[in-house]
Amino acid sequence: MIKVSILFLLALTLFWPRTYFVAGGAEGGAGNGTSMAVETPSQTAPIFKIVTAYSALDSCHNPVEDGCLTASGKIAKVGMVACPYGISFGTKVFIASEWFVCEDRTAKKYNGRFDIFLGYGKEAHQRAIEFGIRKLEVLF
């Protein structure tokens, strides 16, 4: 009986859908009792990678009228992350309990790390410095 239970739990973890639904409320739903989908990473094994942060002040290599152009051709905004070369643009990446979208590339000498865009201006630059270099769990 125990073997069957263990196999059942293993099958659930391998084949269960990776999208969950939560009731609406102050934290994440519409607040009227409706449900909304919450994404979860599709990767099953956690990996730990070097994660840094940057701002337009220290890393705007392609300035345009509306901001800084990323490697994907989009204007940099908070919620984007520079990813290693093996990860496609548009990939959603889960780092430190937050979702980011891969829209930029790290410098070749830093390939393998993730670099979170924190915004424009001196405050964003200061937050990037304070973020420092961390080894964090990354899921995608």
pLDDT reading at 13 higher than 80: no
Mean pLDDT of 109-125: 96
Asked if the 42-139 domain carries CATH number 3.30.450.20, the reply is no
Q: What is the pLDDT of residues 45-62, one digit of tens each?
A: 779 999 999 999 998 989
Decide if 124 contacts 118 (C-beta within 8 A).
yes
Please state, in angstroms and rounded to a whole number, the distance separating the CA atoms of residues 120 and 78.
Answer: 9
C-alpha 22, offset from chain centre: 20
Q: Where are the domains of the chain?
A: 1-40, 42-139
Q: What is the pLDDT of residues 80-111, one digit of tens each?
A: 999 999 999 999 999 999 999 999 999 999 99
pLDDT reading at 8 higher than 70: no
Please state, in angstroms and rounded to a whole number, the distance separating the CA atoms of residues 139 and 96.
Answer: 10
Give strand pairing partners of 135.
50
| pLDDT computed for residue 140 by the predictor | 84
